[in-house]
Structures are given as structure tokens and as C-alpha cells.
Amino acid sequence: MNFKKPAFLFFFIASCFTSAFAQRDTVGLTTILDKTTKYAAAFPIEKVYLHFDKPYYAATDTIWFKAYVTIEKHLPSALSKIVYIDIANSQDTIVKEVKLSVVNGFAMGSIVLTPGAYPEGNYHLRAYTGWMRNSDPEYFFNKNLVIGNPVDNAVSTNISFNTAMVNKRIRINASISYKDPGEAPLANKKITWTATAVNGDELGKGKGNTDANGLFNLDFTGDNASVLQSAILTTIIDTGSRKPVLKMFPLKTAAGIKDVQFFPEGGDLLVGVRSKVAFKAIGTNGLGLNVKGNITDNTGAEVAAISTQHLGMGVFALSPEDGKSYKANITFADGTKTTYDLPRIRPAGITMALFNTDPATVTLKISANAPYFTNNQNKQYYIIAQTGGTILFAAQTKLDAAVYSSAIQKSKFPTGIVQFTLFTATGVPVSERIVFIQNNDAMNLTVTADKKIYNTRQNVKMVVNAKSKTLPVMGNFSVAVIDEGKVPFDENNETTILSNLLLSSELKGYVEKPNYYFLAKNTNAADDLDVLMLTQGYRRISYSNILVGKYPQIYLYPEQQGLEISGILRTNTGMPVSKGNLLLQMPGKASEETYTDMVGNFKFSKLTFKDSAQVTITARNNPLSKNMAVSINGESYQPASKNNYVYDEIPNIDSTFKPYLANSKKVYDSQHILKEVVIKATVYKKPLHRDWPGLTGLPTIPDQTVGAEVFKGCPSLFNCLPSMVLGITADNGLFYFIRNYNSSDKLPIQIYLDGKPVDATALSTVRGDDVESVEVYKTDGFSGANKQTGTAGLILVNMRKINKTKISFAQMQDLIPKPYEVTYTANGFAVTKEFYSPRYLVGKPMGGPDLRSTIYWNPKVLTDKTGAATFDFFNADGRGTYRATIEGIDADGNLGRYVLRYTVK
């Protein structure tokens, strides 16, 4: 069997093609290349990676980050001009949306975590462009964002679970430890608890008291483990000295589900062909489990012993025999045993294997068993290797031997995942394998400091040097310096520019501890990475669709020129106005003008404005403008989706991150010391539901009242409300009680704004700083409000009162809405803040304590033509090890990352 490489590959080809080849018996190799290249050109793969200043946060912090938007070969993307960042809570409700302007593939931003707006919990952060929305959200940048609460955390908890099967039902026992901020157990305190499924079904509830050690035990049963994976346990403890404290715990780790999956190399097990079989054992939380066991055939004979080698993954060799079946007998670390059937064995077939242990070559082996070889001898086969849609290797051969192997130089491929596919002459992919190629082609990036040991508050000077091989490169970088004593973390579990762009973003599914494979100290990383390639799915390119011309549907095209505002101009009778004049005005900006098309549509493009900008669009320059009406189209939002990245969630945040949260509390207290003042003012009556006659008949006491302090800093009440009010969620512009959501009684909550019924979307323009309180009612009492509107429950938003003043008739006329003119607050680009880094000068007063955990953040480190850049900053008061991390990309798509540690005494 001799491979013949085609004389050329097509990289730029016509955009139109015929699919007549689909009716032929054979498909030429050049046709596969042609169609694959056309697909890659029509659907370029864009990625977003975010570099953060640290791995987790407190609800007093500011999240600092930089977005790297890349296209094929990791080049900075010129495709999209906007990157979107969403934060969703544990109930998959989006609580924060940020838009950033992308310039030459880069953007930088920050998110302030206002206490009250972000209760303690695991949040899901995702980042994407408009172009990426055309593909599966699995390919967005996804991160589990852990946020602790150092300000209002009177109770520290730690929960553990025990699971057992009783009469085919899952019995859950939870043991919870309750402590006060001083680590003293909260003994003999009243507890009430409820376990609730995502659809609101009650799985169990009860009450009791903690014991002398602050421990509380509860148990309940469930019929379905999958229900438990998305269920929540809520406990309320009465501490006796303040309001009851609510704690919520995800139950996914309590479900006790264990599973082992098997992955034959190349896709199939074939009779008579010795193959590698990888396996992966995972628990309920999706993380790997250690197992051991053996493989036996249907006679009970052992044919292989197996055990995991890394994070629940392992591999063994198997030579299937005709007429036999095989099973795996697995023993888990806790002693439980389970038997699994191995995948079906095919009596005839062909498969492909790759051997990736040689530093210079990857060896490809094709094996056909006897029946398949007999029926397909001398037929044509093709092999294609591609990465990111770019074909890097192609060959064709005749099947003139049952087994053939060939070495391919790794220098043909860049570092990263390469997909090898074996095709028949009819263009059918029959075997596939992905492999990670590690070449010495990464950017040579280094950071040096002027000292190895520093004093507190001493100036640190650092120099960056970036080279590609031996040549200096101009690159765009971000650097974060943290006090590791305050922010401890597991380096293996980091998400880095290398682990994300080269590994995680290429694979569909979760990669546990992705940075493990990129740390030099992990000597077995290369072998473990190859097992990962055997167990992980790669689905960027589907040849079955490409070869028949089945392309993904495009819903959104890249935002080439910035923000857009569109709408329609009609007459008062509803008829569209053709060639109508529209004027757009914003404070501090020149007016812009446009005209409607034949059906009244208009669009303002190429806009750049900051978030919460006041926009006026008017048709006043048209004849008979008073008989016209302007309507603005709503923005297109990526809908909230179920968070599939729950594997990194932390169940015991307050105890797991105790050192960090304790320091954050000190920082908060030092910045919020109030001096005693005497206030003389008229006490005004706070608005309540009983002030509005239309709400007569409601229960006297609301089920929940949320005060003004919780809403401070919230830019849009519609977005913030689900995270600030317990037990509600949002979907399609409506609010629901979680227990009613997905049930037969799925009715939305009626919203009242200062006593008037409004749509929930009306809260989009309500700022949290203007809210006095929010009252929540699960029933409408005797008011009849729900019956009139077909809703369930009420949320009453009471606004702060302002002093009333008399206005003139002309001023009153200005307040009356004009149909031909619309003024509203538009969602623009988020304002980019500058990271504050104090500068301590010799002989100057030192000021208060410097308790920073993020010592320095700079998203704009640019190396010059010599490959160099410099920056400096001052240490804080913390002593110990400081860690500087720099990441970035140069103009040719070379990735770089470097970590430097130094000591502060």
C-alpha cells in the first residue's frame, strides 16, 4: 500500500460549486479537498478567550479581564467588532450582560460585583461574538465563576453527602456544619430545609436543630438521579441574633451516578484486529473517578486487566475474536462494582490508529480485517488531516495489503489538535482519530524582574521579551500579578490562553484540569493527553455534511462596523413611510441621518457609544411628521441556556475560600469606615403596596421584601431581579416562580411599578439606584389581580420618591410623548475602567493598610519591534509569594504565556 500525495491543495476557490459528484460511484480526493476548503472559507472558526486577573472573586471585587478574539491559525480576528459577555446565576438566569468593542481582535473590560447584586454562588460566564452565535453554544468561551460573600456572611457552612439505593430509590443523607465568622459552631439553632427540583417539585422538606457541634443531618429520597443533578437544597438557619440566613446547595454531587464509557480507537472494534480501547469513568459531577477491573469474554476468561491512569481515563489493548462478546468488570474506589458491555464488534471493517510517542513523527496505521480486505482489495482510499478547517495533509492509496503504516512528519502541523479521517472512494468517512501535535513553535515569551526579593510596597520593574524562534515579535499581551498567599489555587485547573485555544475550544465537552497538559512539571502529560484525545469528541468538521453541500444555517452575520439601531417609520394609520427622513441624536455626538427603504425600514450603522447613552430618533424633518410614528426594533440577544459547565462548581464556597474571603472582608471594611454625623432632615414615608388603591386586598405581609441597598449599582432591574429576589427565574421577557416553572401551572408573575401593572420588560430601563423596595407575593390574596391578568403571584416595584415642583405649560407639553420621536436609553459598549495601582513615594505618608489580592493588572502590554516591553508597579502589604502571569498573541497568531514568581518580605 503506497500513499500518493496530491500535487496541490486548494486554499482559495470559487464560492459556487455543483454537487453532481454525489450521484457518482467515486469521489476524487481533490473534490473532498475542494469542498472542505470552500466550507472553511464560508464558515471561518472564530474563538473568544478571556484572561482574568484571578481565578475566583468576592462580591466586593471588580473582575478585570481581556478578550482575545481569534480566527484560524489563532490570528487576531478582523471578522467581529463586538464581543458579548453574559453572567448567569445557578438557575440559568442572566444577571449581567456586557458588550465590548473589539479593536484588531482585542477588547478589555471590567465587571463590578456589587454586594447584594451577586449572592454567594457558582455563576456561569460565557463570552462570544455575533458570528459565533451561528454555531453551537458549546463552542463559546465558558467559565464557572465562583463568587463568595465576605460582607453579609454570618454563617459558614460545609456540606457532605452519603448516597444509597433503597428499594430502587436513591436515598440522600446530607450532613451540614454551621459556624459563625469566628469558627465557633452554631449549636442548637433552628433549621428549616427544602429540596427542590428544577421544575419546582418538592423532593423533601423538614425542620430541626443543630447539635452541640453545629451539625445538622437531613435525608430524603428521589426516584430519578437525573432530577437530582439539577436540584437545589435550601436551608434557613435562625441564628437568634439577626435575620435568618439562607444557604443553597446544588445536589448534583449527591445523585451518586457513576458511569464508564468505552472508546475504540478509530471508532470500531473489528474481529481479528488488535486495537486500543480507551475508557473514561466519571461521577455525578462529571469529574473522573479512579477505577480498576478486567475485561472478560463470554466464556468468563480474562483477556485484559485495566485501571485508570489519569482523571478517570485509561487505555487497554483488545484483539476481538469471532463469535465472542466482551464486558468490563469495574470496581470503583468506594468498593462498589458494576459490569459494562463493550461496544459492538463488527465482523468486517477497516480502522485507523495513530502512534504519537515520537517527537518528530506521528505514525499512521491502517488495518482491515480479513472479510473486509477480501471484498475491498485494491479499492481507493483517502486520508485527510486538518485543523481548524485548514487541510494540512492529504494522501490517497489502494488497499493492496490488510495492514499498512507510515510515518508523517509533525513539522507539517502546528501545535494543537489535528483530525485524521480515512475515506472510501465514495467519500464516506470510515475511521477518525484526533491527536495533539506538540511542536516547538510557541512564542518564546519571558518576563524578568529587577529583583528576586522585595519589600512590601516596594516598586517592581519588569521587562517582557517576545520572540518567534529567534526573531523579536510585536505582540499584544495582558499581565496579572496576584498575592498567592491570598489567592491560592490549583495550577492544573487553570484556564489559560494555551489550554483554551489549543485544547478546550476544539473539543465538544468538558476537559478536566486542562492546564495539567501544558505544565512542564507533569512528566506524564503527553501520554495522558493522548488518552484524552481517544476519549474526547471533535466535531468542528462534519465531512458527511460537507460532501453533500449541507451547510449550517447563518442567522447572524459579523458586526463589521459597530453598533446598529434599526426600526420602522409608519403613518398613524399603520402604513409604512417610504424614503422617510430619520435623525439620530446623542449628547456629545454629531447628529446622524438616514432614510427609510420602500417598506419603511431604517437602520443607523457604524455607531459607537457607551452603555446607557440617551438616544433620540426623530422624524420631525418630514412633511406631515406629526402624523407619523417611529418604532425601534429590539436587540437580538443570545437566549439563556442550561449550564452544561457545572463540573467546576464549588459546593462549600465560604469554607473553601475562607482565606480569600477573610481578606476581602478586611478590604471592604477598610473602605467603608463611616464617621459619625448628625443628620437633620424630614423623615419621609417609604412607599409600600398599601399606598396604591388598585392593590387593595393583597396579604398584609409580603412573602419577601428586598430593600434598596440590594439594588445599588444595578443598571437594569430586569436583568438583576432574578439574582436579587429568591425563588424566581426569567424566560422570554417574563418572570416566573421557580416552583411553577416547567409545571402544568406555568403562569408568569404580574409586575407592578408604583402601583401600575406593567410588562416585565418595562423594568429594563429601571435603574437599581432609583428603587426603594421590591415586594413579592406568591398569591394575590383578595385583590383579584392574578385572575384579571392570568398570572400567578405579584412583584411590586416601589420607586424612590422625588420632590415635586411646579412646571410651566410649555414644560408639560414637552413631557407628552411625540409619536414621531423616540427617546430611550440604549445599550452601548461598556465603559472601560482603568485598574488603580497605588504608587508609594519615598518620604510620603503611607496611608492605610494595603490588602490588595490583585496587585497589578495591565491589559495593554505591547512589545515593540525589538520584542520588548516594560511596566512597573508597587507591592502591597502582604508577605510571601507573588505571581505574575502574562499571556498574549503576536500578529502572526503565535501564542505566548509565562509565569514569574517572586518573594515579598
What are the strands, taking DSSP E only, across 253-379? 259-264, 269-270, 275-282, 291-297, 302-307, 313-318, 326-332, 337-341, 345-346, 350-355, 361-368
For residue 250, pLDDT beyond 90: no
Least reliable range by pLDDT among 250-264, 588-602, 617-631: 250-264
Query: Which residue, among 267, 576, 547, has the nearest Cα to 434 in the 3D structure?
Result: 267
Q: What number of helices (H) and strands (E) belong to the chain?
A: 11, 54
| Percent with pLDDT over 90 in the chain | 55
Least reliable range by pLDDT among 299-303, 565-569, 842-846, 863-867: 842-846
Residue 636, SS3 per DSSP: coil
- Side by side, the strands of the sheet bearing 628-632 are 601-607, 563-571, 628-632
- The residues near 680 (Cβ < 8 Å, ≥ 6 apart) are none
Class assignment of domain 563-635?
Answer: mainly beta
Question: Confidence class of residue 42 from pLDDT cuts 50, 70 and 90?
Answer: confident
The pLDDT of residue 26: 55
Taking residues 128-148, what's their average pLDDT? Answer: 91
Q: Report pLDDT digits (tens) over 564-609.
A: 899 999 999 999 999 999 999 998 888 999 999 999 999 999 898 9
Q: Report pLDDT digits (tens) over 732-751.
A: 788 988 777 766 678 899 99
Domain 563-635 in the same topology as domain 269-346 = yes
Question: Confidence class of residue 365 from pLDDT cuts 50, 70 and 90?
Answer: very high
Is domain 269-346 in CATH 2.40.50.140, yes or no?
A: no
| Percent with pLDDT over 70 in the chain | 91
Taking residues 173-199, what's their average pLDDT? Answer: 89
Question: Confidence class of residue 81 from pLDDT cuts 50, 70 and 90?
Answer: very high
Taking residues 474-497, what's their average pLDDT? Answer: 96
For residue 226, pLDDT beyond 70: no
**Positive/negative CA dihedral, 529, 533, 535, 539:** positive
Least reliable range by pLDDT among 108-112, 326-330, 720-724, 832-836: 720-724
Q: Residue 842: phi, psi to the nearest 5? A: -60, 130
Question: Confidence class of residue 843 from pLDDT cuts 50, 70 and 90?
Answer: low
d(CA 761, CA 750): 12
Taking residues 450-462, what's their average pLDDT? Answer: 97
| 323 phi-psi bin (left φ>0, alpha ψ -120 to 50, beta other) | left
Q: What share of the chain is helix, strand, coil (3-state, %, to 5)?
A: 15, 40, 45
Cell numbers representing residue 286 in the block: 462529571
Taking residues 843-851, what's their average pLDDT? Answer: 78
Asked if residues 777 and 802 have their Cβ atoms less than 8 Å apart, the reply is no
Q: Report pLDDT digits (tens) over 50-79.
A: 999 999 999 989 999 999 999 999 999 999
The pLDDT of residue 432: 94
Most confident of 269-273, 666-670, 763-767, 827-831: 269-273
> Which residues make beta-bridge pairs with 292?
307, 331
For residue 682, pLDDT beyond 70: no
Is domain 685-799 in CATH 2.170.130.10, yes or no?
A: yes
The residue among 76 and 682 whose pLDDT is bigger is 76
Question: Confidence class of residue 781 from pLDDT cuts 50, 70 and 90?
Answer: confident
**Positive/negative CA dihedral, 199, 205, 209, 215:** negative
- The residues near 744 (Cβ < 8 Å, ≥ 6 apart) are none
Cell numbers representing residue 441 in the block: 513553535
Taking residues 375-384, what's their average pLDDT? Answer: 95
Taking residues 406-418, what's their average pLDDT? Answer: 95
Question: Confidence class of residue 17 from pLDDT cuts 50, 70 and 90?
Answer: very low
Q: Report pLDDT digits (tens) over 544-554.
A: 888 888 888 88
Domain ranges of the chain: 156-241, 269-346, 563-635, 685-799
CA–centroid distance for 752 within its chain:
33
Q: Residue 844: phi, psi to the nearest 5? A: -95, 155
CATH superfamily of 156-241: Immunoglobulins (2.60.40.10)
Question: Confidence class of residue 684 from pLDDT cuts 50, 70 and 90?
Answer: very low
The helix (run of H) or strand (run of E) holding residue 122 is strand 121-129
The helix (run of H) or strand (run of E) holding residue 661 is helix 658-671
The pLDDT of residue 688: 58
Q: Report pLDDT digits (tens) over 519-547.
A: 988 889 999 999 999 998 766 677 888 88
User: pTM to 2 decimals?
Assistant: 0.85
Taking residues 409-415, what's their average pLDDT? Answer: 95
For residue 322, pLDDT beyond 50: yes
Q: Measured between alpha carbons, how far is residue 454 from residues 430, 488, 840, 849, 865 in Å?
A: 61, 20, 14, 18, 31
Query: Which residue, among 202, 259, 250, 247, has the nearest Cα to 229 in the 3D structure?
Result: 250
The pLDDT of residue 13: 27
The pLDDT of residue 496: 98
- Side by side, the strands of the sheet bearing 202-209 are 202-209, 190-196, 232-238, 245-250
The pLDDT of residue 228: 74
The pLDDT of residue 19: 29
SS3 sequence of 742-765:
CCCCCCCCEEEECCEEECHHHHHH
Question: Confidence class of residue 212 from pLDDT cuts 50, 70 and 90?
Answer: very high
The pLDDT of residue 574: 92
